[in-house]
Amino acid sequence: MIPNQHPPESHLLAFATGQGDVSLRILVECHLEACPACVAQVLDVGEAGGRMLRSMPPAQVPADLWAKVLGRIEGGVLPASAHYPIPETISRLLPQEPRWNGILLRGFRFIKLLEETPREAAFYLVHLTAGTVFPGHRHRGLEESVILAGGLKDGTTRLEAGDWASSAAATCHAPQALPDEDCWLVARMENGILFTGWRGLLQRLSGQ
């Protein structure tokens, strides 16, 4: 299926020219794996851009990435039965025994894959069981994500595998996994989120 929602052109240009931080590049890569239209756009950078691309080494994963990832993993181990074929782009970021975190919500869990200093960006693998509603929250910075499998309803927007989603700072929403299939996604979030409701109260009390 061809995605309906695409990253902004500035992201494709940044990807094509080797700019942007690691998590943004991986996020774009996840979308490109499902989107021939954006692949064509990335390749269509003109003769000068093409020459420049060919002369550049491929983007490298930072040497300390594993240490960062391993240092951040807490919570339960991912049961083998819960695996869906996670793309190579993402699975290379996972430790051998991925451990999940939660937010006291049945049906929702996440693994932080990496953190980057500019704009306090963090990159997550997220799993929602079919029909799970992610609690209402407000974004403290930009969030961008790509659906890997299954789908999500976000307000009036329906997102499916390969779709790119973007929530600006100060956006409030409560997305829900589609009812018939688990949803897997990767998300890059700047400056985190503030929950509304009782989770927000706990969050403020704990100074997060």
Q: Is 193 in the site for Zn ion (CB under 5 A)?
A: no
CB of 34 to Zn ion, least distance (A): 8
> In angstroms, what is the minimal distance from the CB of 46 to Zn ion?
19
Q: Which residues contact 25 (CB under 8 A, 6 or more apart)?
A: 14, 15, 59
Q: b vs e for 177-188, b when ≥16 Cβ sit within 10 Å of the residue's Cβ?
A: bbeebbbbbbbb
Closest to Zn ion by CB, 35 or 114: 35
Tokens at residue 105, please?
A: 């919500």
Query: Applying CB under 5 A, which part among 27-35, 44-52, 165-173, 186-194 lies near Zn ion?
Result: 27-35
| Distance between CA atoms of residues 92 and 142, nearest Å | 25
Judged by CB under 5 A, does residue 147 bind Zn ion? no
Task: Look up residue 200 and give its amino acid.
Answer: G
Give whichever of 35 and 185 is closer to Zn ion, judged by the CB atom.
35
Nearer to Zn ion, 26 or 35 (CB): 35
Is residue 37 within 8 Å of residue 31, measured between CB atoms? no
- DSSP letter at 57 equals P
- Dihedral pair phi/psi, residue 7, rounded to 5°: -65, 160
CB of 20 or CB of 192, closer to Zn ion: 20
Containing 37, the helix (H) or strand (E) segment is helix 36-43
> Minimum distance between the CB of residue 196 and Zn ion, rounded to whole angstroms?
31
**38 belongs to the binding site for Zn ion (CB under 5 A):** yes
Q: How many CB atoms lie within 10 A of CB 117?
A: 7
Considering only CA atoms, which of 101, 96, 97, 83 is closest in space to residue 149?
83
Adjacent-strand bridge partners of 176: 133, 153
Nearer to Zn ion, 33 or 115 (CB): 33
Examine residue 161 and tell whether it contacts Zn ion (CB under 5 A). Answer: no
> Could you say whether residue 29 binds Zn ion (CB under 5 A)?
no
138 is a contact residue toward Zn ion (CB under 5 A): no
Is residue 6 a contact residue for Zn ion (CB under 5 A)? yes
Size of the residue set binding Zn ion (CB under 5 A): 3
Tell me how far, at minimum, the Cβ of 24 lies from Zn ion, in Å.
15
Binding site for Zn ion (CB under 5 A): 6, 35, 38
